[in-house]
Chain A
Amino acid sequence: MHKVPRIASVLLVVSSVEMFAMRFDAMAADPQASSAAVYQPAGAPADPKVPAQWNRYHLHGEISEFLQKLAAAHPERCRLQDLGKSFGGREMWLLTIGNFSRGELADKPAFWIDGGIHANEIQSVEVVLYTAWYLLESYGRNPLVTRLVDERAFFLLPMLSPDSRDAHMQKANTTHSPRSGQRPVDDDRDGLVDEDGPDDLDGDGSITQMRVHDPNGRLVPHAKYPNLMIDAPADEPGQYASLGQEGFDNDGDGRVNEDADGYYDPNRDWPWNWQPAYVQPGASRYPLSILENRLVGDFVMAHPQIAGAQSYHNAGGMILRGPGAKDDRYDPRDIEVLDVIGKRGAEMLPGYRYINIANDLYEVYGGEVDWFYDMQGVFTFTNELFTGFNFFRKASEGYFGSNEDLHAFDRYLLFGGGIIPWREIDHPQFGKVEVGGFAKNWVRQPPSFLLEEECHRNMAFTLYHADQMPQVEVQSIDVTPLPGGLTQVTAVIANRKVIPTHAAADVRHRITPPDRISIEGPAIEVVLGLKSTDRFFREPEEQKRRPQTLEFSSIGGMQAVYGRWVVRGSGPYTVTVVSPKGGRATRTSDAPQ
């Protein structure tokens, strides 16, 4: 006979009593009666310590100030650090969020979130800022947020390409530029760098399109939306010809706009399945040769506890998983895990599709998502924020919505604020031409009134993902006396989350150490150790080498593993599980009679 051991310690669980106390404090701290005291909206708190506005976009300097305020207002749960300076000398801010007074941060599974790797994809920064703000301001008010901040760590890097973020906002650009960083590159290899980019001929801050009246051109204005140029019917003459993007031949080589801000793509720069630029346009010299990426790569490689990651992009309403290239394969067991989370996300994000990059989007070699998964063993998604679905809450064409929908939305909801009408200018090469088209602050970016929703829904998906990171627990310890003064100790180690402690890719490439389950006691000697994935030990495996610490390559999602020791000496017995990505837990049992 054996008896059920008394539990000496329990896992971290926030009691509801404690949480209500915190909430009460927060309310009591507000001396003035206001709506926030009596009627908070569901969602974000109305009386945050750090006020924030989620219907506009921010420059690097404004964001720096905001992050410093957040860190100052929440020192017990937030740290701000600069990973290093970007090419242009801007801070690479990294925010760490977690409950610093509950356990070591390094022992907690961590979630990585970055934004703005493609700087023109501008709302991908705001969603990271919103997440940081929400986690800190809702702590103690919202049970899920409180539990996540207590149990997990979050690393948030809002601006991966900060120089180009400012460039997008401060210089003339399109909604699509700059995707590259600001390091000069001689794209056309003529010995001159960035000598012929687009030019803002009409000085309105946006790079639009050029057209010229041409009786032999093949374009005509759209009947309902005259700013929209469409192909003339095949049997009718046209009125205009397109001259491409706004600009002229700056360097006298006869070509227009052939060497803009030097083109390298920060998301083709990651070490897994990397290929040079002739295979993968945008690849730079070698993986992590882009300064900002190297700072991030070095940080991530030094933090193996990162178990989940999200890298925000725009646009098109997609929850993307790898692989990026068709010659690459994800392990089917890992795809199952990604499917559980991704499909949930597609429900949380109306208009978004959960798809994989290589087959459903286009091929990407050297993408960040694949590096996280294949070389760090991290389950990772990239959300492509914003979708044409948002215009009229129905499906629309393409990544950004159909041209008709864009023009209709501009007319009826933006009141003409998103499209610059054609106007005539003098072009140095072409003479009188017209410029016009989409303003740079729209098409890929939500307008003000849709931004906060975009931030919240994407954060919600990412927090769901973060909550599914593995979390190991010592569920029980069973002690049975054996003949000859020996004792059998059996521990059940569970992971009641969707994500396993090790991706199949992690196990295959031996990326992170195994989960180690050890038994200790003041007066025990381990005689042998058995491992099993079956609670009845029907096919146990003996671990001959160092049996005191049993090693498991992984603990699956919603699964348990079983360790058993035969020991000499009396209890209590302390069982500790240490998982590089699943946290750590300890439990002590009594000695048998």
Chain B
Amino acid sequence: MAYMRPPFQGSLVVALWVLAAASPASAQPAIEGYTDYQALSKQVEQLAADGAEPALVRAKSLATTLGGREVWLLTLGEVPQDGHESAAESKPPHDTKPAILVLGNVDATHVVGSELAMRLARLLAEKAKSDDAVKQILSRHTIYVIPRPSPDASEALFRRPLVGRDGNDRATDDDRDFATDEDPFEDLNGDGLITQMRVEEPAGTLVPHPDDPRVLVPADPAQRERGTYRVLSEGRDNDGDEQFNEDPPGGVAFNRNFTFKYPYFERGAGPHQVSEIETRAVADFAFDHPNIALVFSFSPDDNLMQPWKPNPAAENQRIKTAVLAADATVLDALATKYRAIHGGKGAPDSPSPAGSFVHWAYFHFGRWSLGARAWWIPEVPTAAPAGDKPADEKPVSPADATAEAPKPSDASKPDAGAKPDDAAKPAESDKPKRAEDKRGAADRNSLRWFENEKVTGFVPWTPIEHPDFPGRKVEVGGFLPYVRDNPPANKLDELAQKHLQFLLEVAERLPRLVLEEPKIESLGAGVFRLTTAVANAGQMPTMPQMGRVSGLQYPIQLQLEVPDGAKLIPAVARVRVEVLAAGARHEQTWLVQTNTDSALTATITAWAPAVGRDRKSVELKP
């Protein structure tokens, strides 16, 4: 439904445009060089065409979104010679090998994930012949890559004005006022960017930081400061509800639509879990592929820089919400390797896991799940004299930012920038007077990094006439969307190489089934005792404990097939082995009776879709 617009709007539009024309629209976002949907589709098709022979790469669309875009899936790997593990099912050969599922930007604003996923696929295809490790991963495993799971939302990066957006094309009622998309952002200064606005007001809670007045921080009463500013996202209160830009276009967020800790009734969550075309397509793809052993996602919901912490006291609770201790050990080892390869420090904290894909993949899909933020603004030392700052201090992260670039999630809060819990502790009196005022540290660090890297990430505060604040001082400026979550394009290749190295490392450690040479004992009268063992030759258990708890991962099947003329005593041909730890083995004995004088060949097979398979034949000679 349409709401009445406040009557004073029309007359000021002209004034705004005049102002916009006067201010130089110089800001070229730092994300130049990223791939929009059309270009991505071409890359996917090209990669599939180049890799078609010998069937190394395949591309297909998992679904067409509401916005008419394809959710691309790339399948990489050599076609196995003998692909069928079960007579009852005939699967595409790639689906019979243990697989790694790679997700690009599960958070649509984190487009770097899409760029890196695409590069990973390309690197694998390019090095398929030349690099031994790549050759091995592609012969043992299938790599599924979904580079851009939420293409409608991701496309916001390529539109002007530039708005940070994680929701897809479904029209939603973000603020639950029973109107949809009724209060969008407006580019008030006409620079093609949706940034922020600061409003001078006596009841404001923010002040300019003493060292860098561009950054607004909470006023500190202990320093006798009084707030003078309120920060809002750039735009108007279109529906007259005294909130700004609280319901812009952009609907359901992929990374808030999954079942783990689903954020009911919250912005971006959707009408219910897995309600969207793209979330359903990805979830169904995953469930349809029991051969997926591990899920690697690019996501701000990281567990490689800051691994998940188990909670042994809560381990026996019915609903699991903390990584199980047994799995944490395995994940920690992978995370340690990741950090060594990546080399970055001071990664930001992860956002809420509510509805998150990375959490879903572990807790509700029962697989090893790795989430990589991949990039963040590194710490840039201040110009202040060395020694001013303790060396071991934990670097600040953007999550601490006091005045963030507008994110839809913050838009409904009137003072989007102000987080009282970040208010600096009162200055200790025994410190030197020029000791760094730590408020807004992440924001100020971002600004230093922009300067060093010549990145346009911040728009200087510039006064405008704002129709909702007649006669008041309002300035538009602040951080651009995207620039603090996505690196400049020239850093992508190096990041992709690092993540390829890590992926190869992960694949090397995955569990592997090996059948030991069977032992045959003749007990006389055509009766044989046949003993073998299946072992896990990898460096990880055959499934995470969560896979077992969830009941979603397939156990190992160990089966003896005997030809006519032989029968089993008792007649149990197939046994299941739930899990094998790294290096562990399970011994199995069968008793076989033959009723012929000639030698018979029996076959032993050990297999689990996500672990692999081994097969041995034995001769039963009377």
A and B associate in one complex = yes
Q: Is residue B469 contacting chain A, with contact meaning CB distance below 8 A?
A: no
Q: Is residue B525 contacting chain A, with contact meaning CB distance below 8 A?
A: no
Which of chain A's residues have a CB closer than 8 A to the CB of B573? Answer: 252-253
Which of chain A's residues have a CB closer than 8 A to the CB of B557? Answer: 190-191
A272 to B85, CA, bound (A): 38
Interface residues of B in 529-568 (CB under 8 A from A): 549-555, 557
Asked whether B572 lies within 8 Å of A254 as measured between CB atoms, the reply is: yes
Asked whether A277 lies within 8 Å of B554 as measured between CB atoms, the reply is: no
Q: Is residue A368 contacting chain B, with contact meaning CB distance below 8 A?
A: no
Q: What's the least CB distance linking B550 to chain A, in Å?
A: 5
Asked whether A252 lies within 8 Å of B364 as measured between CB atoms, the reply is: no
Asked whether A510 lies within 8 Å of B176 as measured between CB atoms, the reply is: yes
Which of chain B's residues have a CB closer than 8 A to the CB of A285? Answer: 274, 283-284, 287
Which of chain B's residues have a CB closer than 8 A to the CB of A375? Answer: 264, 272
Asked whether A191 lies within 8 Å of B88 as measured between CB atoms, the reply is: yes
Asked whether A192 lies within 8 Å of B554 as measured between CB atoms, the reply is: no
Asked whether A189 lies within 8 Å of B265 as measured between CB atoms, the reply is: no
Closest to A277 in B: B551
Asked whether B272 lies within 8 Å of A190 as measured between CB atoms, the reply is: no
Interface size class of B (residues with CB under 8 A): 35 or more
Asked whether A278 lies within 8 Å of B283 as measured between CB atoms, the reply is: no
Interface residues of B in 75-130 (CB under 8 A from A): 85-86, 88-89
Q: What's the least CB distance linking B77 to chain A, in Å?
A: 20
Asked whether B553 lies within 8 Å of A286 as measured between CB atoms, the reply is: no
Interface residues of B in 253-298 (CB under 8 A from A): 258-259, 262, 264-265, 271-275, 280, 283-284, 287, 290
Q: Is residue A509 contacting chain B, with contact meaning CB distance below 8 A?
A: yes
Q: Is residue B574 contacting chain A, with contact meaning CB distance below 8 A?
A: yes
Asked whether B318 lies within 8 Å of A287 as measured between CB atoms, the reply is: no
B287-328 vs A, CB cutoff 8 Å, 1 = contact: the mask equals 100100000000000000000000000000011000000000
A509 to B173, CA, bound (A): 12
Q: Is residue B241 contacting chain A, with contact meaning CB distance below 8 A?
A: yes
Q: What's the least CB distance linking A343 to chain B, in Å?
A: 30
Contact of B240 among A188, A193, A545 (CB under 8 A): A545
Q: What's the least CB distance linking A192 to chain B, in Å?
A: 5
Which of chain A's residues have a CB closer than 8 A to the CB of B319? Answer: 275, 279
Q: What's the least CB distance linking A197 to chain B, in Å?
A: 14
Which of chain B's residues have a CB closer than 8 A to the CB of A193? Answer: 88
Which of chain B's residues have a CB closer than 8 A to the CB of A252? Answer: 571-574
Closest to B242 in A: A545
Asked whether B264 lies within 8 Å of A509 as measured between CB atoms, the reply is: yes
Asked whether A276 lies within 8 Å of B572 as measured between CB atoms, the reply is: no
A274-312 vs B, CB cutoff 8 Å, 1 = contact: the mask equals 111111000001111100000001000100000000000
Q: Is residue A49 contacting chain B, with contact meaning CB distance below 8 A?
A: no
Contact of A286 among B4, B274, B554, B571 (CB under 8 A): B274
A254 to B588, CA, bound (A): 15
Q: What's the least CB distance linking B488 to chain A, in Å?
A: 38
Q: Is residue A513 contacting chain B, with contact meaning CB distance below 8 A?
A: yes
Interface residues of A in 541-555 (CB under 8 A from B): 545-546
Q: What's the least CB distance linking A127 to chain B, in Å?
A: 28
Q: Is residue B178 contacting chain A, with contact meaning CB distance below 8 A?
A: yes
Q: Is residue A195 contacting chain B, with contact meaning CB distance below 8 A?
A: yes
Closest to B550 in A: A278
Q: Is residue B333 contacting chain A, with contact meaning CB distance below 8 A?
A: no
Asked whether A513 lies within 8 Å of B574 as measured between CB atoms, the reply is: no
A301 to B271, CA, bound (A): 9
Closest to A191 in B: B86
Closest to A371 in B: B272
Q: Is residue B60 contacting chain A, with contact meaning CB distance below 8 A?
A: no
Which of chain A's residues have a CB closer than 8 A to the CB of B571? Answer: 252, 254, 429
Q: What's the least CB distance linking A502 to chain B, in Å?
A: 12
Interface residues of A in 474-531 (CB under 8 A from B): 509-510, 512-514
A277 to B553, CA, bound (A): 13
Q: What's the least CB distance linking B61 to chain A, in Å?
A: 20
Q: Is residue A583 contacting chain B, with contact meaning CB distance below 8 A?
A: no
Which of chain B's residues have a CB closer than 8 A to the CB of A513? Answer: 178
Which of chain A's residues have a CB closer than 8 A to the CB of B549? Answer: 278
Q: What's the least CB distance linking A337 to chain B, in Å?
A: 22
Which of chain A's residues have a CB closer than 8 A to the CB of B570? Answer: 254
Q: What's the least CB distance linking B4 to chain A, in Å?
A: 7
Closest to A429 in B: B571
Which of chain A's residues have a CB closer than 8 A to the CB of B274? Answer: 285-289
Interface residues of A in 233-290 (CB under 8 A from B): 251-254, 271-272, 274-279, 285-289
Interface size class of A (residues with CB under 8 A): 35 or more
Which of chain A's residues have a CB closer than 8 A to the CB of B555? Answer: 189-190
- Say whether, besides A274-B273, A285-B287, A288-B272, A191 and B89 are in contact (CB < 8 Å): yes
A279 to B552, CA, bound (A): 12
Asked whether B290 lies within 8 Å of A189 as measured between CB atoms, the reply is: yes
Closest to B258 in A: A286
Asked whether B259 lies within 8 Å of A274 as measured between CB atoms, the reply is: yes
Closest to A513 in B: B178
- Say whether, besides A254-B575, A278-B551, A509-B264, A271 and B283 are in contact (CB < 8 Å): no
Which of chain B's residues have a CB closer than 8 A to the CB of A286? Answer: 258-259, 273-274, 280, 283, 364
Contact of B86 among A192, A429, A509 (CB under 8 A): A192
Which of chain A's residues have a CB closer than 8 A to the CB of B472? Answer: none
Interface residues of B in 454-469 (CB under 8 A from A): none
Q: What's the least CB distance linking B26 to chain A, in Å?
A: 39
Which of chain A's residues have a CB closer than 8 A to the CB of B574? Answer: 190, 251-254
Which of chain A's residues have a CB closer than 8 A to the CB of B86? Answer: 191-192
Interface residues of A in 174-195 (CB under 8 A from B): 188-193, 195
A571 to B284, CA, bound (A): 60
Which of chain A's residues have a CB closer than 8 A to the CB of B262? Answer: 271, 274
Interface residues of A in 192-241 (CB under 8 A from B): 192-193, 195
Q: Is residue B609 contacting chain A, with contact meaning CB distance below 8 A?
A: yes
B49-83 vs A, CB cutoff 8 Å, 1 = contact: the mask equals 00000000000000000000000000000000000
Asked whether A279 lies within 8 Å of B318 as measured between CB atoms, the reply is: yes
Which of chain A's residues have a CB closer than 8 A to the CB of B178? Answer: 510, 512-514
Which of chain A's residues have a CB closer than 8 A to the CB of B550? Answer: 276-278
A254 to B571, CA, bound (A): 7
- Say whether, besides A189-B555, A301-B271, A375-B272, A510 and B572 are in contact (CB < 8 Å): no
Asked whether A195 lies within 8 Å of B88 as measured between CB atoms, the reply is: yes
- Say whether, besides A271-B273, A279-B318, A545-B240, A190 and B554 are in contact (CB < 8 Å): yes
A276 to B240, CA, bound (A): 42
Asked whether A271 lies within 8 Å of B364 as measured between CB atoms, the reply is: no
Contact of A189 among B258, B272, B364, B553 (CB under 8 A): B553
Asked whether A276 lies within 8 Å of B259 as measured between CB atoms, the reply is: yes
Asked whether A192 lies within 8 Å of B88 as measured between CB atoms, the reply is: yes
Asked whether B88 lies within 8 Å of A546 as measured between CB atoms, the reply is: no
Contact of A190 among B4, B364, B576 (CB under 8 A): B576
B338-351 vs A, CB cutoff 8 Å, 1 = contact: the mask equals 00000000000000
A119 to B576, CA, bound (A): 32
A359 to B7, CA, bound (A): 55
Asked whether B272 lies within 8 Å of A287 as measured between CB atoms, the reply is: yes
Asked whether B272 lies within 8 Å of A545 as measured between CB atoms, the reply is: no
Closest to A188 in B: B576
Q: What's the least CB distance linking B89 to chain A, in Å?
A: 6
A192 to B272, CA, bound (A): 32
Which of chain B's residues have a CB closer than 8 A to the CB of A272? Answer: 264
Closest to B179 in A: A513
Q: What's the least CB distance linking B556 to chain A, in Å?
A: 10
Which of chain B's residues have a CB closer than 8 A to the CB of A188? Answer: 576
A301 to B270, CA, bound (A): 12
A510 to B266, CA, bound (A): 11
- By Cβ-Cβ distance, the 6 closest A-B pairs, closest first, are A254-B572, A271-B272, A191-B86, A510-B176, A513-B178, A286-B274
A-B contact pairs, 5 of them (CB 8 A): A252-B572, A253-B574, A276-B364, A279-B319, A510-B176
20 further A-B pairs in the complex, CB-CB below 8 A; given A254-B571, A289-B280: A189-B551, A190-B557, A191-B609, A192-B88, A192-B89, A254-B572, A254-B574, A271-B273, A275-B319, A276-B259, A276-B364, A277-B552, A278-B550, A279-B318, A285-B284, A286-B280, A287-B259, A287-B272, A288-B272, A429-B571
